[in-house]
Amino acid sequence: MAKHARFSPGSLAYREVCPSFSSRPGSNAQADESTKLRECVENGSTQGLPNAQAACVIFCLQHRDAILATMQSPQVFHGIKLEITGGLTHGTADFLAVDGDRAALVNWKMDRSRVTAPEDNAQVAAYTLGVFEHFPQVNTVEASICQPRQRYIQKHTFTREGDFANLDLRIRTIIARASMRGGKRPCIPFEGCRYCRKQATCPGLINKVLPLARKCAGISIPDVVQNSDTPTPGLMSRMLDVAAIVQPWCDAVRNTATQMTLSGHDIPGYHLGYATNSGVVAQPAAIFDALPHSETSAPDDESWTGGDLPGITPEDFITACTAVDIGKLEDFFVAKAKHGFKGSMKTALSCWLTERNLVRPGERKGTICKNY
Ligand code: SF4
């Protein structure tokens, strides 16, 4: 089984709407926090967590214990790998307890907004199918989504007799549509475009995003929003939905265009210009003095899991920051962080430098500009 599935269960809901969807790689502080909390639920520990995070873990553990209390002699799995649709895809379910012909499947969701109910949720459908396939004796799967931040639990019971065929058909259809040759595969813009790696180049999004965004949000967007036009909070909320799609797309287009130009491509009507970048480090010696020091480079297997920043040697600092590049300094520290903590490490470094006024505008960096 490959480590990462091409059509991972977590991406199926997006692919169900747009078969061309492709997950954007990378991590962020929110994803890191979710990973960390899941690990704490798995270990049954709240040690070292701030109160709010500990409360999330306890809420999940209470849900788990309530399930187990209804079972006779359950087999319990945390993070069980499941093949789905005969191996067309696979994934790791958060929690599973199997008791005779009955199973309880739980998805911990640390999201701050409510997710799709289990009976409609494509990820839950995929894992439920995987449970039916992996455990032939199981006839019912009680699937739940536990959202501790909302103190909210949604449940649905699937049966082998009534649901297996539909679950199988649904997952196979999503994968079949997503596997079509590029030219035939439709691009259907929707709010999930913000998580798609094709955002900058997707013809469907380029041609349709504004009309579709207006339609999805159900509003007529004014050409200019002025303070005197004071929109209602409800209108503002729907306009923010539109902005959430359009703004990342604009950023992604500019970044891709800059990279293309830097790689030698001419973009008609545009050239590579310069603009001030506000995230450039201007005082390398002061930064080195401010960082914790170390006599020797930490071994690669000593991974950071939070707390104080690890020490840095003068040699490592110079290697990381020859031109005192904030990106390279980040790379150095991020490499020290354990998987699941990399985004948090970036944030910790940023806070460390900002609090000490060690970053200031200064260096000029290439950016794409329109020709006049
Ligand atoms: S950016 Fe394009 S390919 Fe990606 S989800 Fe949106 S419409 Fe689909």
Give tens-digit pLDDT for 73-89. Answer: 999 999 999 999 999 99
CB-CB contact of 369 with 271 (8 Å): yes
Q: Please check whether residue 349 is in contact with residue 326, taking contact to mean a CB–CB distance below 8 angstroms.
A: no
Mean pLDDT of 329-357: 80
Q: Give the count of alpha carbons within 13 A of 359, CB side only.
A: 16
Which pLDDT belongs to residue 163?
Answer: 97
Pocket of ligand 1 contains residue 199 by CB under 6 Å: yes
- DSSP H or E run through 267: none
Output the pLDDT for position 316.
83
| Strands of the sheet with 102-108, listed across from one edge | 75-84, 89-99, 102-108, 140-147, 152-159
Q: What is the pLDDT of residues 275-326, one digit of tens each?
A: 444 445 556 777 888 888 888 876 666 677 777 888 888 888 877 765 556 7
Q: Could you tell me if the CB of 213 is within 6 A of ligand 1? A: no
Taking the centre of ligand 1 as the mean of its atom positions, its distance from the CA of residue 163, in whole angstroms, is 30
Nearest atom in ligand 1 to 249's CA: 1
Residue of 12, 199, 253 with the most ligand 1 atoms within 8 Å of its CB, for mutation: 199
Looking at residue 24, what DSSP letter applies?
Answer: P
For 159, the token pair is 């049966």
Residue 311's pLDDT is 85
Return all residues near 309 (Cβ < 8 A) that are at least 6 apart.
Answer: 291, 292, 333, 348, 349, 352
- State which ligand 1 atom lies nearest to the alpha carbon of 19: 8
pLDDT tens track for 131-144? 999 999 999 999 99
The residue written with tokens 């430098």 in the block is: 353
Cβ(275)–Cβ(367) under 8 Å?
yes
Q: Which residue has a Cα nearest atom 2 of ligand 1?
A: 202
Q: How far is the CA of 242 from the centre of ligand 1 (A)?
A: 15
Bridge partners, residue 283, by sequence? none
